[in-house]
Amino acid sequence: MRFDFKDLELFIAVADAGSIARAADRCHTVASAVSKRLSDLEESFGTALFTRGARGVELTPGGHAFLVKARRLLAQAEQLDEEVQKYSAGSRGQVRVFANMSAIVEFLPKLLALFLEKHADIHVHLEQHVSGQIAIAVRENVADFGIVGELPILDQLLMQPFRRDQLVVVAPQDHPLAKRSSVSFSDVASSPFVGLDASSSLHYVLATAVAECGRQLDLRIRVASFDAACAMVAAKLGIAVLPRLAIDPYIEAFSLATIPLTDAWADRQLFICLRSDQPLHPAAQLLLDHLRREAS
């Protein structure tokens, strides 16, 4: 083998930091050792993985391809190590679940608490990601299954209905919309918006709705979380379309108003996302069956 797991860890650290020196600090080693590892790695493959400049390093096309596989290999190695350790300690296993913000905030805390009361020998590793990344993680076998919003159809994946949540327009309390009891999206499609990550299901829903109105999305700012979106709306940088239950903690704190949307798509379906080409291991199947049963 041309590399070991330490090579992968250092390569990913440099790719994330954009700098050998910063990656060395994060990994508690010296820059010369990291640089030597990377040089040896590039020499073994016979191709450059980074271009080096005065401001740091950037991935080459080959580096980008290697990064995807390196992340998957490390995630699988970590999962294997954790599962074997838990089996040796008498546990039945670990389930790795990726979910979007809506599912984690609105539904999963209670559902997971009920499950773990009955299955104390199963450990759940839950990570929050945007829906597009979750689908890729499930397809690449990094996650056992995921919970996502509406996404384009992807090969090798099954999408099963999970729960529904209600999308609303979020605006400052002194905004003209705050006086409305409900609103059609076509009435606000030309407004400046605060949006979420481009790979999130909410961005996909918003972009599709704007296009159906024959407008272009006026996205003033993009953030990574619901609380950040609410803060940007409070600062009057735009309005937002967000799930009502997930933003409950922030409405009063940021002096915001929520206006129900009359559009049918605002009653949003969340989905369980899993691979179509292989069965789940027993612990993951138990959790999946629990979520399906509680969602029915």
List Cβ neighbours of 61 (8 Å cut-off, separation of 6 or more): none
Q: Give the domain 5-71 fold.
A: Arc Repressor Mutant, subunit A (1.10.10)
Q: Got the DSSP string for 29-97?
A: S-HHHHHHHHHHHHHHHTS-SEEEETTEEEE-HHHHHHHHHHHHHHHHHHHHHHHHHHHHTT--EEEEE
Predicted pLDDT of residue 130: 83
Dihedral (CA of 61, 24, 134, 195) sign: negative
Q: Same topology for domains 5-71 and 166-268, yes or no?
A: no
Chain-centre distance of CA 2, in angstroms?
Answer: 32
Strands (E), 173-288: 192-195, 218-222, 240-243, 256-260, 267-275
C-alpha dist (Å) from residue 137 to 46, 81, 99, 275: 29, 18, 11, 10
- Amino acid type, 95: V
User: Could you give the CA distance from residue 288 to residue 284 in angstroms, rounded to a whole number?
Assistant: 6
| CATH (one of 1.10.510.10, 1.10.3720.10, 3.40.190.10, 3.40.640.10) for 90-162+269-295 | 3.40.190.10
Predicted pLDDT of residue 45: 86
Quote the Cα angle for 75-270-247, to 5°: 95
Nearest to 97 by CA among 72, 132, 134: 134
> Can you tell me whether residue 273 is helix, strand or coil?
strand
Question: How buried is residue 2: exposed, middle or buried, by Cβ count under 10 Å (0-12/13-18/19+)?
Answer: exposed
Predicted pLDDT of residue 91: 47
- Residue matched to tokens 């250092």: 10
Facing residues of 175 across strands? none
Nearest to 143 by CA among 14, 288, 296: 288
Local confidence pLDDT in tens for the 296 residues of the chain: 577 888 889 899 999 888 999 988 988 899 999 999 999 888 888 889 889 988 889 999 998 989 889 899 888 888 887 766 655 443 468 899 999 988 998 899 999 999 999 888 889 999 988 888 899 899 999 999 999 987 766 778 999 999 988 999 999 999 999 999 999 999 999 999 999 888 777 888 888 898 899 888 889 999 988 999 999 999 999 999 999 988 988 999 999 999 999 999 999 889 999 999 888 888 899 999 999 988 76
Predicted pLDDT of residue 109: 92
CATH number, span 166-268: 3.40.190.10
- Residue matched to tokens 């056992």: 144
Per-domain boundaries in the chain: 5-71, 90-162+269-295, 166-268
* Cα Rg of the chain (Å, integer): 22
Predicted pLDDT of residue 79: 80
Predicted pLDDT of residue 251: 93
Contact call for residues 23 and 13 (beta carbons, < 8 A): yes
Write out the two tokens for 35: 């640089």
pLDDT digits (tens, 9 = 90+) for 162-197: 998 899 999 999 999 999 999 999 999 999 999 988
Predicted pLDDT of residue 44: 87
